[in-house]
Amino acid sequence: MKPYKGYLGTIEFDENDVVFHGRIMGIRDIFTYEANSAEELLKAFHECVDDYLEFCAEQNKEAEKPFSGKLALRTTPEVHSLVSRAASSDGKSINQWVSDTLAEAARKRIEEGSTKVTSRAH
């Protein structure tokens, strides 16, 4: 699902009730939505985000930003050293190298996942 106002949502399907459902990702509050079709699910997701933002405004509460762009990472000294050497060999800072490498791995994983879903559907 494409982001809406910066927020992403999950998509799940319940075979027993034959309904799609999901929730807004990346926030502590729990806001869920459901629908009977993909088109209705997209509309329900947008309405859910709007409801969340309205709820926050009514509560005089700042809406959480779903993804701040900050990611804390702990690793071993050995891995830190390897990452430093790899970044240096690519002429990048550690931060930029890690960001680029994570983005590449995430895109690959998402593409592999969508291929698996598509191949199972046939």
Does the model's pTM come out above 0.75? no
Report how far residue 35's alpha carbon sits from residue 19's, in angstroms, rounded to the nearest whole number: 6
Q: Which of 1, 76, 85, 79 is closest to 35 using CA atoms?
A: 1
Q: How many CA atoms lie within 13 A of 19 on its CB side?
A: 9
Per-residue pLDDT of the chain (122 residues; tens, 9 = 90+): 789 999 999 999 999 999 999 999 989 999 999 999 999 999 999 999 999 999 999 999 999 987 777 788 899 999 999 999 999 999 988 989 999 999 999 999 988 876 655 444 44
Residue 66 · residue 7 · CB < 8 Å: yes
CB 26 within 8 A of CB 16: no
